[in-house]
């Protein structure tokens, strides 16, 4: 797969952090990289041009969402996903495994596949690993994902073990039925918060020689130290020359801790979702623009930030837009947060290449105040319970 590969450029001398590059049919993607989430073929509020202005080189879309709306065949008729959403850079489609388990109701899982009801209209659907690959080949993303079974973070060991084994079988079936050679199919490591299962899963999938490896089933409500421990366990057993993709992680502090453990790719709705609630990233932590302290601030949110929002508007204007529920607020906040994360990824990569990552990490973590963990878990639970989310 010459046309869709990973090049490792530099490894940090005193951590597992790596700098590399994904070569895709729709351009090169520098790693470590953060993928904005565009489940429904749109990064909420933004145009493709704005994403390019921010410097985004790859986005994520979701097979589950697109299968339900507008339907895979509609996107096929419109010339594929890139053309449909007018995005000519790289796309990764998630298989929708996680969404079937978190959003749909009345599901029945068997070795064959999953029967579920749509979270939108209750209609009944049957998917298999083979169908999910077929859908993703029709959509035409640059990177596609195997169908996985994603247990809840508090499921029993037996249940997690069973889901892991099924995920392994499904990964093999996905691999076997893949027809297109221009798409990189990534496997997904499962195993919950059991170090033993994570090791088994990583080893099993590593020997199948996928072009990339995702770490799934994390950041679902388990304590942060568990997440990081599982990442460490898993990465240690994944091949050095393949990209490692931690699914669903997107806070600045988690990204930097995971890069430190050798992760190359991230996706999360967090930066865009919290933006729409007025929570904006600064180098000191997340600040809420709705705080009245901003009502008369002539400076931008982050003085010196070169994003469109900070270059153009005062914090007071953004505060006013949020205060009035003006739709422009959500755009401007989304632009800022994605720019912040993209800038963070750029700084991380430069630090790795210049062998200064450890001090960059320490400096960042000493000044950035993460959101309180209990508050964060509560927010996450609240969000996971809102069963209509496309983020």
Annotated catalytic residue 264: no
Under rule CB under 8 A, residue 79 binds a copy of itself: yes
What Rg value do the Cα atoms of the chain yield, rounded? Answer: 20
Cβ contact 230:198 at 8 Å: yes
- The reply on whether position 135 binds a copy of itself by CB under 8 A is no
290 scored as a contact of a copy of itself (CB under 8 A): no
Footprint (CB under 8 A) of a copy of itself, residues 37-76: 40-42, 44-48, 69-70, 74
- In whole angstroms, give the CA distance from residue 349 to residue 357: 8
Residue 313 in contact with a copy of itself, rule: CB under 8 A: yes
Does position 296 interact with a copy of itself (CB under 8 A)? The reply is: yes
Whole-angstrom distance, CA of residue 146 vs CA of residue 261 = 24
Catalytic residue among 94, 142, 254, 260: 94
From the candidates 142, 148, 260, 267, which is the catalytic residue? 267
88 annotated active-site: no
CB 290 within 8 A of CB 278: yes
32 preceded by cis ω (within 30°)? yes
The region of 11-19, 227-235, 325-333, 369-377 touching a copy of itself under the rule CB under 8 A is 325-333
18 phi and psi, to 5 degrees?
A: -135, 150
Q: Find the binder of a copy of itself among 290, 314, 350, 358 (CB under 8 A).
A: 314
Which stretch in 84-92, 198-206, 211-219, 379-387 sits in contact with a copy of itself by CB under 8 A?
Answer: 84-92
Q: Does 282 bind a copy of itself (CB under 8 A)?
A: no
Long-range contacts of 98-107 (CB under 8 A, 24+ apart): 98/148, 98/150, 98/216, 98/247, 98/248, 99/39, 99/62, 99/64, 99/65, 100/64, 100/127, 101/149, 101/150, 101/151, 102/150, 102/384, 103/64, 103/387, 103/388, 103/389, 104/64, 105/387
Q: Which is nearer to a copy of itself, 40 or 379 (CB)?
A: 40
Only segment of 133-141, 164-172, 191-199, 294-302 that touches a copy of itself (CB under 8 A): 294-302
Q: How far apart are CA 183 and CA 185, in angstroms?
A: 6
- Catalytic residue annotation: 94, 267
Q: Under the rule (CB under 8 A), what is the footprint of a copy of itself? A: 40-42, 44-48, 69-70, 74, 77-79, 84-86, 295-296, 298, 308, 312-314, 316-317, 319-321, 323-324, 326-328, 330-331, 390
């Amino acid at each position: 797969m010459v046309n869709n590969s990973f090049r490792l450029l530099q490894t940090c001398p005193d951590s597992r952090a790596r700098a590399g590059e994904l070569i895709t049919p729709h351009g090169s993607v520098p790693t470590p990289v953060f993928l904005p989430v565009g489940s429904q073929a749109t990064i909420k509020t933004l145009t493709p041009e704005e994403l390019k202005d921010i410097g985004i080189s790859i986005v994520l879309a979701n097979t589950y969402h697109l299968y339900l709306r507008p339907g895979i065949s509609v996107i096929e008729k419109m010339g594929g996903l890139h053309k449909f959403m007018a995005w000519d850079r790289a796309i990764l489609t998630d298989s929708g495994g996680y969404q079937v388990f978190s959003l749909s109701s009345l599901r029945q899982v068997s070795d064959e596949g999953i029967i579920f009801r749509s979270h939108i209209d209750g209609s009944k659907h049957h998917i298999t690993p083979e169908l999910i690959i077929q859908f993703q080949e029709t959509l035409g993303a640059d990177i596609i994902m195997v169908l996985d079974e994603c247990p809840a973070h508090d499921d029993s060991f037996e249940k997690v073990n069973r889901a892991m084994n099924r995920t392994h079988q499904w990964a093999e079936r996905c691999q076997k039925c893949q027809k297109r050679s221009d798409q990189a199919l990534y496997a997904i490591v499962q195993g919950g918060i059991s170090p033993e299962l994570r090791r088994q899963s990583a080893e099993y999938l590593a020997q199948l020689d996928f072009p990339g490896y995702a770490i799934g089933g994390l950041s679902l409500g388990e304590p942060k130290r568990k997440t990081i421990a599982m990442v460490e366990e898993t990465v240690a057993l994944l091949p050095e020359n393949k990209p490692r993709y931690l699914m669903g992680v997107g806070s600045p502090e988690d990204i930097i801790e995971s890069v430190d453990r050798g992760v190359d790719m991230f996706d999360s709705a967090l930066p865009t979702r919290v933006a729409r609630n007025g929570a904006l990233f600064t180098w000191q932590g997340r600040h809420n623009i709705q705080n009245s302290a901003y009502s008369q601030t002539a400076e931008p949110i982050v003085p010196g930030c070169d994003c469109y929002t900070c270059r153009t508007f005062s914090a007071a204007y953004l505060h006013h837009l949020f205060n009035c529920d003006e739709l422009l607020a959500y755009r401007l906040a989304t632009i800022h947060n994605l720019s912040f994360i993209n800038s963070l990824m750029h700084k991380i990569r430069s630090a790795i290449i210049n062998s200064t990552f450890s001090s960059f990490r320490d400096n960042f973590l000493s000044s950035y105040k993460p959101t309180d963990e209990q508050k964060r878990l509560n927010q996450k639970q609240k969000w996971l319970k809102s069963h209509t989310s496309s983020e």
